[in-house]
Structure 1
Amino acid sequence: MYGTKSKIDLAFEYQSQVAVLRPSIHSRRANLTVKFQDLYGFTVEGNVDDVNVLNEVREKVRQQGRVWWALEASKGANWYLQTTIGQGSALTSSLKFSAMANAITLKKLIRKGIPPVLRPKIWFSLSGAAKKKSTVPDSYYDDLTKAVEGKVTPATRQIDHDLPRTFPGHPWLDTPEGHAALRRVLVAYSFRDSDVGYCQGLNYVAALLLLVMKTEEDAFWMLAVLLENVLVNDCYTNNLSGCHVEQRVFKDLLSKKCPRIATHLEALEFDVSLVTTEWFLCLFSKSLPSELFAYGMLSSMRVLRLYLTWPWQSLR
């Protein structure tokens, strides 16, 4: 049937007609898994492209860091604390051009990333946490934690249940010391605001704030200003009505910006809130790598809406 050709020749001839399928460089890169610890001690595991995204963010923050340090040298260490010189429409003739220029510069810098070293001071000052803290005695947090020590409520029982499940495996948060610090912050706030008490999701937010702010008291006041002044009302109350409002806004935004995806999800009768509720309750702290979370917290994620109290808002 095959004439005088040997089996070996036939094998080579047949093999030459078969397309050689080799994995593309993109598929090979996708299969390469990289594992390392990020800036805040979390273990990051992903493919090469994921790591490249994080490296790009790091490089942008480094570049922005040089701009921040230059301004620190030329304008003084606390130049960004002098940007708000009034509240709402009350400022007219008292508006100073230098403060206005500082505020505009600061807004641009925040949107491009705050150096990690400056995040605790800038977050605390510009979020309103420092102002909120100044309205009570200096010993407020210590007195509150001592007063509620040993008390048991439904909130404290749920907190104790959630502590081991908050970023398990983290080198500090998942230790007795880390659990104790996180518990004090959450329990103290549950007694400060009985309407909120404790809601699942706050443990992740408070944990990230502890890592960024470094101290329990600063993390406590950051949590307080987020829940009381920045976020939509009733995000963490029993009916989660504020969270439902955010979900509705997100659905409308999805229909406007990604109509094909929204139509496809509607055809599947899939309720997107099944996925996104966790995003909003945890303020993306559980959904994004911590470095991206910390990089974008003051800007793209709308967690701290600083521009609402800045001078130029009232001049539009």
Structure 2
Amino acid sequence: MEGPCDAYGFSLQRRSPASETASSSDTGEEARRRCEKREKKNRKRWETEWPRPVQVASQPSPSPTSSLGDWLRWRSLKAMCREGIPPTLRGAMWSEASGASGEKERATADYGSLADAGKEATNHQIDLDLPRTFPDHPFYQTAEGRAALRRVLVAVGAYCEAEGGYCQSMNYVAAFVLLAVDRDEERAFWIMAGVVKRKVLQDTWSERLLGCRVEMEALGTLLRKRDPKVAAHLAAIGCDVSYFATDWFLCLYCKSLPSETVARVWDSFLLEGPKVLFRVALAILGSCRGEILSCGNPGDVVTVLRRAQVDLHDRCALMDQAFAVGSLPMAKIDKYRSRASVSAPE
């Protein structure tokens, strides 16, 4: 692949179509360097305060008795995850924070058998989606990469059948997770299983996407509470939240943000839950507030937000803003969800 790439192999040119000038490209690279410098300090904190988790995660096959689960109760972990999990620890910590480790222990089937399962119709849909999944990424341009992603998706569809099985958009999520855990198929699968069963609203990936629609209605309510001026303007120009937020909740930002920024969102999302998705949504909208208020139609809003998202390489600034929007307890999100679920369309 020509040109600079990020830590997960995505072309920075491809992921930032709005950054076509040298100056804007340099600005994106500067943002990445600033974050790298800040995250480097955080890595030292992990190594100083968390020597045992570092040692456990670095083992090729950690034993069940050395699970990182015990360490998740430490009060400082939330703050450290908000500052970013070191890439070398991300797979191990994501496995614990997502509930993947516990899911694997309770499962009656192993990854190998699940990857060979799946319904014919589901597998056919997966085969259709594979060529559309990050087609410019070098790994997914290869037969090996597509085959690995296919096995993960087939296994997810079979294991999560009670939750609706495979659904389009899962392909982007699984493809990103697979890259983030150094292409470890089994680890990626169990993290996906934990996300589907424990981290997103039920029916998010069902046939009617009811859970996703509930989340977007909840976001609309939250926006009216937090920024009534923006909410009123969107309503006045006929711009429903679903026009720009569908991928946020269906693809969990994997298709919207630069991959290194997605990883930072997931560091907190897996540990703290779906309220982080709402925090990030408010942060993105807040960063574009002036431009949104100048938009005269929904298409302009979508364009503004898409252009902003692909250039969000300053992951540190985004997460700072996400956690600076004020208190957002899960109980409040659940209240908005309960209101939305009543009016969600059939």
Q: Which residue of 2 aligns with 1:82?
A: 70
Q: Which residue of 1 aligns with 2:292?
A: none
Select 1:69's aligned residue among 47, 50, 63.
Answer: 47
Change (3 A) 1:262 1:75: closer
Q: Return closer, same or farther for 1:256/1:35 CA change in 2, 3 Å cut-off.
A: farther
Taking the aligned partners of 1:225 and 1:295, their CA distance within structure 2 comes to 18
1:35–1:206 Cα change, 3 Å: same
Aligned-residue offset at 1:225: 0.5
Do the aligned partners of residues 307 and 274 (structure 1) sit closer, same or farther apart at CA in structure 2, a change above 3 Å counting? closer
**TM-score relative to the length of structure 2:** 0.67
The residue aligned with 2:150 is 183
1:246 to 198, 201, 215: 215
Match of 1:130 among 75, 90, 101: 101
Distance in 1, matches of 2:220 and 2:195, equals 23
Q: Which amino acid aligns with 1:287?
A: S
3-state DSSP class of the match of 2:55?
A: coil
Aligned to 1:107: 78
Corresponding residue to 1:205 among 173, 180, 184 = 173
CA distance in 2, matches of 1:286, 1:76: 30
Q: Which amino acid aligns with 2:70?
A: Q
Q: Which residue of 2 aligns with 1:145?
A: 115
Match for residue 122 of structure 2? 155
Identify the match of residue 204 of structure 2 among 235, 241, 259. Answer: 235
Gaps of at least 5 residues in structure 1 are 1-33, 85-99
Alignment partners' CA distance in 2, 1:190 and 1:307: 22
Whether contact under 8 Å (1:54, 1:292) holds in the other structure is no
Instruction: Give 1:191 deviation, angstroms.
Output: 1.7
Distance in 1 between residues matched to 2:230 and 2:259, nearest whole Å = 27
Higher mean alpha-carbon deviation, 178-187 vs 125-134, is at 125-134
Structure 2 residues not aligned, in runs of 5+? 14-18, 57-65, 276-328, 330-346
| 2:92 maps to 1:121 | yes
Counterpart CA distance in 1 for 2:78 and 2:247 is 28
CA displacement at 1:111 relative to structure 2: 1.1
Match of 1:264 in 2: 233
| CA offsets 1:120-159 (integer angstroms, 9 cap, x no match) | 011112221011101236x71112223x2xx662211111
Indicate whether 1:58 and 2:36 are aligned.
yes
Q: Would you say the 8 A contact 2:53–2:71 is kept in 1?
A: no
Q: Work out the percentage of aligned pairs sharing the same amino acid.
A: 37
* Helix, strand or coil at the partner of 1:280: helix
Alpha-carbon distance between aligned partners in 1 of 2:53 and 2:128, rounded to the nearest angstrom: 48
State the superposition RMSD in angstroms. Answer: 2.5
1:287 corresponds, among 256, 259, 267, to 256
Question: 2-side partners of 1:258 and 1:271: how far apart?
Answer: 15
1:189 CA drift (Å): 1.6
Q: Does residue 6 of structure 2 align to residue 38 of structure 1?
A: yes
Q: CA deviation at 1:304?
A: 4.0
Aligned AA for 2:91?
P
Measure how far apart 1:251 and its partner are: 0.8
Structure 2 Cα separation of the partners of residues 73 and 226 of structure 1: 27
Q: Aligned equivalents of 1:70 and 1:174: distance in 2? A: 40
Q: Does 1:226 align with 2:195?
A: yes
Measured after TM superposition, the shift of residue 296 of structure 1 is: 2.1
Name the count of aligned residue pairs.
Answer: 253
* Contact 1:185–1:219 under 8 Å retained in 2: yes
Secondary structure (helix, strand or coil) at the match of 1:120 reads helix
Tell me if structure 2 keeps the 8 A contact 1:230–1:304: no
> Taking structure 1 as reference, are residues 175 and 188 closer, same or farther at Cα in structure 2, changes over 3 Å only?
same
Distance of aligned partners of 1:204 and 1:249 in 2 relative to their CA distance in 1, 3 Å threshold: same
**Equivalent AA in structure 2 for residue 161 of structure 1:** L
Q: Secondary structure at the match of 2:161?
A: coil
In the aligned structure 1, how far is the partner of 2:209 from the partner of 2:107? 28
Distance 1:71 1:129 in 2: 24
Shift of residue 179, structure 1, vs aligned partner: 0.3
Q: 2 CA distance for matches of 1:144 and 1:189?
A: 8
Q: What residue number does 1:31 align with?
A: none
TM-score, with structure 1 as normaliser: 0.74
Larger radius of gyration: 1
Partner amino acid, structure 1, of 2:250: L
Alpha-carbon distance, 1:83 to partner: 3.1
Conserved? CA contact 2:47–2:54, under 8 Å: no
